[in-house]
Amino acid sequence: MSEQGITVASTKEILLQRETPPPVKVPETKPPVEKPKVEAPAKVEPKPVAKAPKKSSDLAVVLIRGREVGIRHDVKRTLDSMLLRRKNVCRILKDTPVNRGFLNKVKDFTAFGPVSADTIKMLESKRPKHKDRGVFRMHPPKGGYGRKGIKVSYNNGGVLGKNPKMDDLIKRMLW
């Protein structure tokens, strides 16, 4: 015993006084299960498919309403850049994002849509381009514009804007 009243215990006594922690359980590892080997199926070659006729990437635009006095200046400039200066004038354009933007701006004055190669050939044979500028002058359509006329969009029963029946409209204008 020491002078201050503290006893020095032996190492054995200290170890016995401590509680021993519970043993740590190590999970058993299972051996890896071998997966059965699957052979890759034989490659099947696709059957040749008949190619559909190539769709034309050309758009026809026809100025339906005249260039009135009250037309906005940006629309007027767009019509000028597309060379549409008279009523019933047709122009063939490539289907590009720039031309789509032009057509969207002038949709209240024109009819536009995809056109077949046959219609383009017929247009070129019956109406030669005016002064080599790519503009075709045409008559008003036989039987009129039909439906609700030239003041309403195609979706609402008229002829203006995106018109999926441009081939029919152009054929009726080439009499």
104-139 per-position pLDDT tens digit: 888 888 889 999 888 888 888 877 666 556 788 888
pLDDT at 61 (0 to 100):
92
**Across 26-47, average pLDDT:** 73
Q: Are 102 and 162 in contact (CB under 8 A)?
A: no
Q: Are 133 and 82 in contact (CB under 8 A)?
A: no
Residue-range domain boundaries for the chain? 58-173
Q: First-to-last CA distance in the chain?
A: 131
Of 9-13, 34-38, 123-127, which has the strongest mean pLDDT? 123-127
Q: Is the pLDDT of residue 8 over 80?
A: no
Six token digits for residue 112: 């536009």
pLDDT, mean over the chain: 77
CA 168 from chain centre, in angstroms, equals 26
Write down the CATH number for the domain with range 58-173: 3.30.1390.20
Least confidently predicted of 13-17, 23-27, 58-62, 96-100: 13-17
Q: Which residue has the tokens 């006329």?
A: 149
